[in-house]
Amino acid sequence: MPRRLLLIALPVLLAVGCGDTFTGTQVVTVNGEDISRDTLEAELDALMDNDAYRSLLEQQLSGVAIGESEGSFDTRFVANLLTERVYLALVAQEVERRGLSVSDVVLEAARANLEQNIGPSFAELPDEQRDQFVGRVGLVLTLRSEVVPRYFEEHGEDYDEICASHILVETREDADALSAELDDGAEFAELAEASSDDTQSAAEGGDLGCQRRGTFVPPFEEAAYSLEVGEVSAPVRTEFGYHLILLDDRNPTDLEGQEQLVQSDLIEALTEEADVDVNPRYGRWVRPEPDRGFAVVPPEGPAADAG
């Protein structure tokens, strides 16, 4: 699971206790499937009882588990833990929706991976926690090997290398005027050379070369990928101004070398479409920052006593 989706930086340290301080029977609901209070408490109990397990999850979630008061957990750590569980639930649901499953071969590979990368600490875990780790890694391996290729087949054009040119101007009025000139038969390259504020590309008739997805700023990229070869976009606003975009060519590409990008896009699509409801006792499901993935953000407030 991409770690950038899991990291939350908040300035206030809070603590949540175990047992009766929790309220409600569901901690999180993911597309109608519950992560229960009992499930969370069982995992927190396991963390409290086993130093090796706690250390592994602290490394995975980049945070300290134990809170400031005795027998408590830091709420940011719990929120990160719940964020991880939400993403795993979304992946599991997508695997099931596609009629796939985590095979025994994949589980064996997951166990071997954990034994190699974690070493003796993995062997120190209770059987239940070892099996949970294996299942989670197996799920992610299935995502990468089975789901990502299918998603790429369905959205392959979104990952083509595109060759584009543009004209950049400061105002919408200027962009509309140039668009009208193009409609009247003006040459794109000539207008770019004479009028574009991007002097570097203007010298080349607006040519930006050929790039893969992820190179251009999102509004520009979304517009460019929606064009047919030879088509000019309507004015597109970005932080740099207004663009008229000409799609010069489109070169099909394969999945190799783009696996991580495709996986990130798939997970983003799953979270955008997901119905995630977090018990307010544990936080909210939001984007902590505009350019980051969704996460459980813990509530602000005084620390709760341990149960």
Over residues 51-109, the pLDDT tens digits come to 888 888 888 888 888 887 777 888 899 999 999 999 999 999 999 999 999 999 999 99
Burial (CB count within 10 angstroms: exposed 0-12, middle 13-18, buried 19+), residue 224: buried
pTM listed for this prediction? 0.76
Tokens coding 167 = 């004209």
Residues ≥6 apart with Cβ < 8 Å to 92: 139
Residue by residue, pLDDT tens for the chain (307 residues) are 333 333 222 222 223 333 333 445 889 999 999 999 998 988 888 888 888 888 888 888 888 888 877 778 888 999 999 999 999 999 999 999 999 999 999 999 999 999 998 888 788 888 888 898 899 999 999 999 999 999 999 999 999 999 999 999 999 999 999 999 999 999 999 999 999 999 999 999 999 999 988 889 999 999 999 999 999 999 999 999 999 999 999 999 999 989 999 999 999 999 999 999 999 999 999 998 877 889 999 987 433 333 3
What is the structure's pLDDT at 24?
Answer: 58
* Chain centre to alpha carbon of residue 74: 24
What is the structure's pLDDT at 53?
Answer: 80
Tokens coding 140 = 């992610």
- The rounded distance, in Å, linking the Cα atoms of 58 and 69 is 18
For residue 245, give the H/E element and its range. Answer: strand 241-251
What is the structure's pLDDT at 291?
Answer: 75
Q: Which residue has the tokens 């290729």?
A: 149
Residues ≥6 apart with Cβ < 8 Å to 77: 58, 61, 63, 64, 65
Residues ≥6 apart with Cβ < 8 Å to 253: 159, 160, 161, 212
Burial (CB count within 10 angstroms: exposed 0-12, middle 13-18, buried 19+), residue 236: buried
What is the structure's pLDDT at 183?
Answer: 96
What is the structure's pLDDT at 276?
Answer: 96
Burial (CB count within 10 angstroms: exposed 0-12, middle 13-18, buried 19+), residue 41: middle
- The rounded distance, in Å, linking the Cα atoms of 233 and 75 is 47
Candidates 3.10.50.40, 3.30.1330.40, 3.40.50.1220, 3.40.50.10490; correct CATH number of 161-251? 3.10.50.40
Beta bridge mates, 241: 238
Residues ≥6 apart with Cβ < 8 Å to 289: none
- Domains of the chain, by residue range, sit at 3-154+259-297, 161-251
Candidates 1.20.1260, 1.10.4030, 3.30.450, 2.50.20; correct CATH number of 3-154+259-297? 1.10.4030
